[in-house]
Amino acid sequence: MAGKQIWIVDDDIYIGDLLEELLTREGYQVCRAYSGTEVLLLLSNTKPDLVLLDLMLPGRSGEEVLPKLVGIPVIVISAKIDTDSKVDLLLGGAADYVTKPFDSKELLARIAVQFRKIEAREKENSTSLVFEEITMDLEKHQVMVYGDSVKLTRTEYAILKLLMQNPTQVITKSVLLDRISEDTPDCLESSLKVHVSNLRKKLRESSGKDYIEAVWGIGFKMANA
């Protein structure tokens, strides 16, 4: 799986650089923003796994941006947080807060806590996925079709998992490419085409059916019966 994407939102270049180095070294994928308005712009394109948010920002303050980040864990990083505003922040949707100057290890630990929370939540919800005759055991990492075990490569497994987690939704090609290619900077569609083709073939061999449907120009989805 690709590294988690973390946004660093701080207009202080020095602190931002420091954070970026720290997080990059830890294997996270980093994206910088320097104003509240920039965050909102970014947000319309993609969504991060976590946000480090300074409160004193040009454009829009951190407090203003916070509500827009609903559903994404936000760790507030700021110099002056008294206990009352801590309460306000947390009520406003922040997942945690750290005061400047912060300790690197502590910050990393708090980030890890957030990701562990998310993982726990995801794991809670599902250890196995089912779509018609396909069963996917996420713990055993095993896929069965009509009772037959089907051997998939890591990429094929990832594609099928994404599709089966959202069985009614169309999954964009770009989303699939994002999740699938770890380090490849710009993985080409030709690759995705082949993976999907191979995946289909394997599923077909055990079932005779074609479970994956192409949506022209957009992506793929599980075929509704």
Partner DNA sequence: CTGTGATCTTAACCATTTCTTAACCGTTTG
Partner DNA sequence: CAAACGGTTAAGAAATGGTTAAGATCACAG
Binding residues for a copy of itself, per CB under 8 A?
A: 70-71, 83-84, 86-87, 90-91, 95-96, 117, 120-121, 124, 139-141, 153-154, 166, 168-170, 215-218, 221
CA 219/CA 173 separation, integer angstroms: 5
Residue 218 interacting with DNA (CB under 7 A) = yes
160 binds DNA (CB under 7 A): no
- Select 3 or 167, whichever has its Cβ closest to a copy of itself: 167
What residue 124 binds from a copy of itself, DNA, none (CB within 5 to 8 A, per partner kind)? a copy of itself
Asked if 135 touches DNA (CB under 7 A), the answer is: no
CB of 82 to DNA, least distance (A): 48
Query: Which residues of this chain interact with DNA, rule CB under 7 A?
Result: 151, 153-156, 173, 180-181, 183-184, 187-191, 193-198, 200-201, 214-219
